[in-house]
């Protein structure tokens, strides 16, 4: 597994894997130019990262042609490190 990142590690423009972001909760993140790496991970360039979803800025990434991956790990869904689906 790749090294886990924290919110303070993130810089717009850096290349990251989704698996590196799983400890960053309640933060809206978008990766662009994404591709599948390994069996289940996604890698791409970080273009948006904010704890407050700024609708105009966030939504504009969904209207371009490059592949994107929006990421949001909700702390309310995590309990003792386990995600429960209802």
pLDDT at 2 > cutoff 70: no
Torsion over CA of 2, 60, 62 and 25, rounded to 10 degrees? Answer: 40
How many angstroms separate the CA atoms of 11 and 80, rounded? 28
Reported confidence tier of residue 42, pLDDT bands at 50, 70, 90: very high
Q: List, for residues 21-30, the tens digit of each pLDDT value.
A: 999 999 999 9
Give mean pLDDT, residues 57-71: 90
pLDDT at 57 > cutoff 70: yes
Nearby residues of 37 by Cβ (< 8 Å), 6 or more positions away: 17, 43
pTM: 0.82
How many angstroms separate the CA atoms of 22 and 50, rounded? 15
């Amino acid at each position: 597994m790749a090294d886990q990142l924290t919110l303070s590690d993130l810089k717009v423009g850096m290349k990251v894997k989704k698996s590196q972001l799983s400890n960053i909760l309640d933060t809206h993140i978008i990766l662009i130019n994404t591709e599948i790496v390994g069996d289940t991970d996604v890698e791409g360039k970080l273009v948006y990262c904010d704890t407050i979803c700024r609708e105009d800025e966030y939504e504009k990434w969904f209207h371009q042609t490059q592949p994107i991956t929006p990421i949001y790990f909700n702390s309310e869904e995590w309990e003792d490190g386990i995600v429960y689906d209802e």
